[in-house]
A and B are shown apart, each in its own frame.
Chain A
Amino acid sequence: MTEKGTWLVKKGFAEMFKGGVIMDVTNAEQAKIAEEAGAVAVMALERVPADIRKAGGVARMASIAKIKEIMDAVSIPVMAKVRIGHIAEARILEALGVDFIDESEVLTPADDRFHINKHEFKVPFVCGARDLGEALRRIAEGAAMIRTKGEAGTGNVVEAVKHMRRVMDEIRRVQTMADEELVSYAKEIGAPVELVREVKRLGRLPVVNFAAGGVATPADAALMMMLGADGVFVGSGIFKSKEPAKMARAMVLAVTYWNDPEMLLKISEDIGEPMPGLEIGTLEVHMQERGW
């Protein structure tokens, strides 16, 4: 019997992204540049996070016409974002046939208490997390992939580093815990104990864990891989840089050759000017605080 939309099929799809770069794009032309550079998927958006931040107001799911334009332009997987808790936006994107949904703090939340029950969908979901508890809550809801939240649209990698280090530190702590400590620890971090046990057994999250939120250079991308990321999302970092095609190619190579300094040097030599960055202390909106 043929079975579609199973956990294995959803989680397995995310495994295929490993060692790759997922790029934010806002039109067919950018999508083609991303594909040509070697992106493993594109995220179809109305505006990149840096522009969402500038525009203010309520940020929603991209228009269907925009997502279709991008789906028609490339042969690689297309992801799109829905607001946290917006079940209807997610059902619409599933019906449209997008390959992955990002229930994302970059958009304005639709529900201030609950995320989507992602188990009910055939399409897989990725969600942001700042620590192990948040990651495991999202996995408990059915997320097939996790990414750090970082602070999107800033070109400042410090928050992504903080979140990746926190998740990795907590995983290491769990591994050294006695089994009888796990129930209390699960309560402390607000995560199901079954998933905490699985983390102890595996020594990692049970799903793929990407870095996102502030990656602006190939060196940033390599840094996130060194900290244990399985791959990298680059939002504004490519199409807000001066030479997107060069930057995109360099990001792709940096995520493959992150542990080869000679290669990283070569990759970083001719990338043009990166996007301008923002100091976290000056921000009015901290997108990472959205999500429960």
Chain B
Amino acid sequence: MLIGVLALQGDFREHIWALQRLGVEAFAVKTVSDLEKVDGLIIPGGESTSIGRIAQVTGVGEKIVQLAKEGLPIYGTCAGMILLAKRIVDHPEQYSFRLMDIVVQRNAYGRQIESFEVYLDVARLGKVKAVFIRAPKIVELGKGVEVLASYENTPVLVQQGKLLASSFHPELTDDLRIHEYFVKMVADRHESVR
């Protein structure tokens, strides 16, 4: 089983380290041919406009959309969540993958001085330290989307089938449980495909 971390821009190194600490084989994905090797994909934090632009001009974005439709498990953190959302409030023109039935608002908690850390209750996992950095907020949620954690009554960790998304950055802490949860999603699919 091989998990790719989209490495067009952002904190992909931290995600790779988290996966490696779990004993999972992980590598940096930059091209369409890299994508063909993966059993699961993480889209890291970074700038969604930057990651999106590079994905668009290289054809990597188109390939991600195709693989997701074939059932590839994908986890997006922060910018990754923005890129997965079906619509981005105030920036409808921004390129993204539009895979998940959520509507997000970028930088909804404010500029960097409003960025924060907090402990959250996560379904099935318990208390998790969450780091929110110029974080996006989910403002609309489709029927098939399950909420795994909320902050101030807003969903911040959600799952829709094989897609997982968080407004915050588990890769910036030493807590590996959310990555472990995603690895299980990938392993389940990996088994069923075989």
Contact = CB atoms under 8 A, between A and B. Distances in A.
Nearest to B53: A38
Contacts of A8: 117, 131, 172-173
A41 B79 CA distance: 14
Contact of B50 (A4, A40, A122): A40
B111 A19 contact: no
Interface in B24-73: 30, 45-47, 49-50, 53-54, 57-58
Contacts, number: 122
A19 B46 CA distance: 9
Contacts of A2: 116-118
B107 interface: yes
Given A12-B172, A13-B133, A256 B49 contact: no
B91 interface: yes
Contacts of A62: none
A40 B47 contact: yes
B47 A4 contact: no
Interface in B107-121: 107, 110-119
Contacts of B107: 75
Interface-centre pick from B47, B50, B57, B118 (highest chain A CB count, 10 A): B50
B10 A16 contact: yes
Contacts of A77: 47, 111-112, 134
Interface residues of A, number: 41
A192 B90 CA distance: 46
Q: In terms of DSSP, what is the predominant structure of the interface of chain A?
A: loop
A97 B110 CA distance: 9
B9 A18 contact: yes
A142 to B, nearest CB: 15
Contacts of A124: 112
A99 interface: yes
B47 A15 contact: no
A9 B133 contact: yes
A252 B50 contact: yes
B112 A20 contact: no
B30 to A, nearest CB: 7
Nearest to B56: A38
Interface in A252-292: 252-253, 255-257, 260
Interface string B76-116: 00110000000000110000000000000011001111111
Contact of B113 (A4, A38, A257): A4
Given A77-B112, A99-B134, A19 B169 contact: no
**How big is chain B's contact interface, by range?**
35 or more
Nearest to B90: A75
A97 B10 contact: no
Contact of A12 (B57, B79, B90, B131): B131
B12 interface: yes
B116 to A, nearest CB: 5
Given A19-B8, A99-B112, A252 B53 contact: yes
A127 interface: no
B164 interface: no
A50 to B, nearest CB: 25
Interface of A: 1-6, 8-9, 12-13, 15-20, 35-41, 75-77, 94, 97-100, 122-124, 249, 252-253, 255-257, 260
28 contacts: A2-B118, A3-B116, A3-B118, A4-B114, A5-B113, A6-B116, A9-B117, A9-B131, A12-B131, A13-B134, A15-B14, A16-B11, A18-B12, A20-B47, A38-B9, A38-B53, A39-B47, A40-B47, A75-B49, A76-B49, A77-B47, A97-B110, A97-B111, A123-B112, A253-B57, A256-B8, A256-B30, A260-B30
Interface of B: 7-14, 30, 45-47, 49-50, 53-54, 57-58, 78-79, 90-91, 106-107, 110-119, 131, 133-134, 169, 172-173
Given A12-B133, A19-B7, 14 more contacts: A6-B117, A9-B131, A13-B115, A16-B47, A18-B9, A18-B10, A18-B46, A36-B53, A38-B54, A77-B111, A99-B111, A123-B112, A256-B7, A256-B30
